[in-house]
Homo-oligomer: A and B are copies of this chain.
Amino acid sequence: MGPPTTADGSNLIGRNLPVDGARVAADLAELAKLTEPDRPWTRRSFTPMFLKGRDWLARRMREAGLEPTIDAGGNLVGRRVGRKPGLGTLMIGSHSDTVPDGGLYDGTAGVIAGIEVARALVDAGIELDHDLEIVDFLAEEVSVFGVSCIGSRAMAGLLPDAWLQREAENRSLRNAMIDVGAKPNVLSARTDIRACLELHIEQGPVLENACEPVGIVTSIAGITRIALHVTGRLDHAGTTPMDLRDDALVTAAALVLDINAEARRRANEEPGHFTATVGEFAISPGAANVVPGSADLLIDARASEPAAMPSFLDWLRSRIQHRAITMQVISQNAPSPCDPAVCNELEQATLRLGVKSRRMVSGAGHDTAWISRIAPAAMIFVPCKGGRSHCPEESADPEDISVGAAVLFQTLLALDAQPADK
């Protein structure tokens, strides 16, 4: 990955950004040290290491003139009151928790970028009219409790009650939340958020391949999970002639290819983002000398356009019709469009900074998807090396993260300057 470039191709390194790239790089390096020593880079929600990370973040927030507290949903919120009470809150947030073994930049880039924006405001002597909050959302990644985006769902008043009873490692999610300072009995949706911004690594290869430092996320794809069960006939692999078989693996393999071809067609020919992936696949009985009798597939399908998923499910139903294949939709989330006005402000900011950007869709889920239910919210992506994430090799250039932080800084100023009723 080369250094990021401006719209006219000149090198950004050394540019006079409103944020301090060296501070961003140093903060990321320091936070990275707070990892389970035997499996870098790991700082999973609800663990002692996670709380160490939050203590460090709270200190950095204080140094940036933010007052850190834990809200009812367990989010770490660094707040600075604005000059005009009642205008509402401008928020920048992401998450500091990680998946096992991976998370050097996934989440942390956005939290550190938020703190850097707060510091840059202090450096520039800028006081906002709105209240400012920099947020570390609780448990964005799937934790031991098996669910994700706990803090942002809680802030949106959308954390399912039943989830609080989930048990792992000898405590309930309710008690685990209480242990990090949350008050899960008094959750309600925030109504004061004027706008929410998030910076995140792309977790895909598009920006890196295009040599563009910023992606403006117009929508966060909805995720649908579909289980397929293929029934064939278990037979002796040596004695059953090829033409007298009903091999479940052969049926399932054809299904995998058709699903892949259909997803490619939709991704290429239809508007928006579409993916479909068979990520889990198993046959039974799985013995060398036995023709497979059944196969199980799990499809992860994601679409940014509301009409795309029902249409894909229709295609899939007709594909398996009149065959010994059953289909069950396991879970389904609608896509979350980002706020168009906030997207426009983000884009204007890139233009003011002379930074190339593209509009794109997020195939991954993010806290912004939940905050977008209760407030104007949008997010930007920055490139990551090889599109890799959720692995020890996950890598992003702190310079790119600083460019993204500068975009957030400019956008924040623009939003702060707008009348509240706009």
Contact = CB atoms under 8 A, between A and B. Distances in A.
Contact of A291 (B223, B267, B279, B302): B279
Contact of A256 (B244, B249, B300): B249
A364 interface: yes
A376 B170 CA distance: 69
Residue among A279, A291, A292 facing the most chain B CB atoms (10 A cut-off) = A279
Nearest to A240: B204
A247 interface: yes
A223 B238 contact: yes
A348 interface: no
A205 interface: yes
Interface stretch (A87-95, A129-137, A282-290, A403-411): A282-290
A256 B250 contact: yes
A372 interface: no
Main secondary structure of the interface of A (DSSP, over half): mixed
B206 A241 contact: yes
Nearest to A330: B288
A272 to B, nearest CB: 12
Contacts of A263: 242
B243 A250 contact: no
A390 B205 CA distance: 50
Contacts of A300: 237-238, 288-289
Copy number of this protein in the oligomer? 2
A288 B298 contact: yes
A277 to B, nearest CB: 4
Interface in A284-342: 286-292, 298, 300, 302
Contacts of A204: 236, 239-241, 244
Contacts of A278: 249, 292
B257 A302 contact: no
A236 B267 contact: no
Contacts of A268: 242-243
Residue among A237, A250, A267 facing the most chain B CB atoms (10 A cut-off) = A237
Contacts of A241: 204-206, 267, 275
Contacts of A290: 277, 279, 390
A152 interface: no
B291 A389 contact: no
A264 interface: yes
A203 interface: yes
27 contacts: A202-B239, A204-B241, A204-B244, A205-B241, A206-B241, A236-B364, A237-B302, A238-B275, A238-B300, A238-B364, A239-B362, A240-B363, A242-B263, A242-B268, A243-B264, A249-B281, A250-B260, A252-B253, A253-B256, A253-B257, A280-B283, A280-B286, A280-B288, A281-B281, A281-B292, A282-B282, A289-B300
Interface of A: 202-206, 209, 221, 223, 225, 234-244, 247, 249-250, 252-254, 256-257, 260, 263-264, 267-268, 274-283, 286-292, 298, 300, 302, 362-365, 387-391
The 9 closest A-B CB pairs, nearest first, are: A238-B363, A204-B239, A253-B253, A237-B277, A253-B256, A239-B363, A203-B239, A242-B267, A238-B364
